[in-house]
Amino acid sequence: MDYEDTAVKLLVTGGAGFIGSHLVRACLNRPDVWVVNLDKLTYAGNLDSIRDLRGHPRHEFIQADIADAAALREVFSRHQPDAVLHLAAESHVDRSIDAPDEFIRTNIAGTYNLLEASHRLWQERKKAGGNFRYLQVSTDEVYGSLGFGDSAFAETTAYDPHSPYAASKAAADHLARAWYHTYGLPVLVTHSPNNYGPNQFPEKLIPLVIIKALQGEEIPVYGRGENIRDWLHVTDHVSAVLAVLERGRVGETYHVGGGQELSNLDLVRRLCVVLGELRPRADGQSYAGQIRLVTDRPGHDLRYAINAAKIRSELGWQPQETLATGLRQTVQWYLDNEAWWRPILSGKYQLQRLGVTSAAIP
């Protein structure tokens, strides 16, 4: 699929969300790429994140729910995309603990609807000698938890999801692979670790820490803060997704890792240092004084880590952003864009803790 020489129409689901908005913008930066941007506009979908694309001649936004099969059929019939990049999902672990039904509906039933619509289109494309690709964007959380000394997740690691969110994404991945093996749908799958960067909804750790710190509130860290995550800047993730779409082998899975593991407590401390440099507290004290350890999340996985050797060797992809430069750029963006995140906090979500439901575990 050559973006330079051929007009290509891409359907991006979840294109008003955090990763999706960056992906849509990256696609439109390529000549002759048309983007159909489909988003339900849940709490995490934000038109302000794609405000700069309003009126773009090669971008069309459609508000629709992937759980609505009839709406998807209409979109596919009208636009006939050359490829689907599926990012639409309920994605916050804490919310999945409180309301798993929404995750089942969107992440599993919605993915099924999208696969069915894609399969119908692919059947038509094959008869006409055309091409099509379906890219399932997934998470490292489907693999469960690693110990401190365990090797990083590989593409062959067995699934072992521990949260309703992870289980729903695992189910979606299995469906996508089943449509490849059973029906021949040209499916590719990617897995990435924790993403960060501009435009991320403030329920996620990094923007939550930044905003809590700026507002003089306590900065909550679950448990002892020892849980380890691999961090990937959103622009690096987007470049990997496009590399897989263009050059990946159909039927294959590719891991997209930042190679930058850090405990949650160490990450929060780093953010406090950067905030202190870019916007010192009025009293001259460190933002780290606002950190508080709080009761852990139920079923909190200890460690995630991604082995990205395959995408590096096969596709030549490498992350460009270091954690040091990426965190500084991200903090600066939230400092400069209060007009983006402040209205979010005027609604139902006001940085309160979610996912505190607990159950007796034998």
Q: Which of 39, 141, 203, 301 is catalytic?
A: 141
The reported pTM is 0.93
Confidence of residue 6 (pLDDT cuts 50, 70, 90): low
Confidence of residue 357 (pLDDT cuts 50, 70, 90): low
Confidence of residue 299 (pLDDT cuts 50, 70, 90): confident
Q: Which of 165, 180, 254, 334 is catalytic?
A: 165
Q: Which of 140, 230, 261, 321 is catalytic?
A: 140
Give yes or no: 140 in active site.
Answer: yes
Residue 82 to residue 66: CA distance in whole angstroms: 18
- pLDDT value at residue 249: 98
Asked if 223 and 296 touch (Cβ cutoff 8 Å), the reply is yes
- pLDDT value at residue 285: 97
Give yes or no: 165 in active site.
Answer: yes
155-198 pLDDT, tens digit per residue, is 999 999 999 999 999 999 999 999 999 999 999 999 999 999 99
Give yes or no: 52 in active site.
Answer: no
Domains and CATH numbers, the chain: 8-195+233-259+305-321 (3.40.50.720)
253-296 pLDDT, tens digit per residue, is 999 998 999 999 999 999 999 999 999 999 999 999 999 999 98
Asked if 138 and 174 touch (Cβ cutoff 8 Å), the reply is no
| Listed range (50-64, 140-154, 336-350) with the worst mean pLDDT | 336-350
192-248 pLDDT, tens digit per residue, is 999 999 999 898 899 999 999 999 999 999 999 999 999 999 999 999 999 999 999
Q: Residue 264 has which token pair?
A: 């949650």
Asked if 222 and 191 touch (Cβ cutoff 8 Å), the reply is no
Q: Residue 291 has which token pair?
A: 């950190």
29-47 pLDDT, tens digit per residue, is 998 999 999 999 988 888 9
- pLDDT value at residue 4: 40
